[in-house]
Structure 1
């Protein structure tokens, strides 16, 4: 199997959302889907991964090291499952999944260059620290090439 890892996202318009299966990214996914519907735009779901954060391929023996392609495909399948579970059947919404072997900020910032809107979740830490943005959200707000919507936790 040829190496199919992608290290940057290039899009032309639409709403981009970063998803990593955290509660904050799932809230961002729902908000981004609503924005994409309102704008009649494509929803680009970006999943950045590294070997450390990728789910282990189920068909890989315990003592074997999965290939990059196996990791990539497993992350894609996991992301498709997350989107289907959270958005269900989404008629009229064009959803495109981008699986990127890259740190999250770089993946989202590269996608923001062609996006109309970037949606990210906020990972609050509680107390005073909870008032600050998470590092990914902060980098996106500071450096994105488009407008950024930071989705706060439910109260």
Structure 2
């Protein structure tokens, strides 16, 4: 009887090209280390007054469906067994750091945004690099 690997990778997925690239990178790393992946997608309550009202359960369900679809579209069939999915609520950086609390590695994508947008919104990937409890790999979107 073989022992199950304890090497764990948390990867943030938001549907962007860079997050899909981050998931692909994490899958390759998990293969090498015989590890497991926790793919995490985060939602927060929209700050728009005209946003269609949905319950938290509906948003959880919709986010989970989107995450599972992205994982199926991005990872090879043989690698799906390594990947679990997790939906979190709140600020993406905080939720990813919470998910990575016991992980060996955190993998996030980084979209190339302009300096003005970066100054206003900050960078989830930068925040994770500065505050994560484990090593962080940032995968940049290959397309500018």
The TM-score, its normalising length taken from structure 2, stands at 0.81
Contact 2:24 2:75 in 1 (8 A): yes
Q: Which has the higher helix share?
A: 2
Matched, 1:122 2:110: yes
List per-residue Cα deviations over 1:65-116 (Å, max 9, x = no partner).
3211111111101110010011141347421101001110011111221000
After TM superposition, give the deviation of residue 18 of structure 1 in Å.
Answer: 0.2
Contact 2:8 2:105 in 1 (8 A): yes
After TM superposition, give the deviation of residue 13 of structure 1 in Å.
Answer: 4.8
User: Which residue in 1 is equivalent to 2:41?
Assistant: 47
Structure 1: 4+ residue segments shifted above 3 A? none
Q: How many residues align?
A: 130
User: Which residue in 1 is equivalent to 2:14?
Assistant: 20
Q: 1:25 to 1:92 in 2, by over 3 A?
A: closer
Please give the root-mean-square deviation of Cα atoms over the aligned residues, in Å: 2.3
Q: 1:13 to 1:111 in 2, by over 3 A?
A: farther
Partners in 1 of 2:132 and 2:65 — Cα distance?
A: 27
Partners in 2 of 1:92 and 1:40 — Cα distance?
A: 13
User: Which residue in 2 is equivalent to 1:146?
Assistant: 134
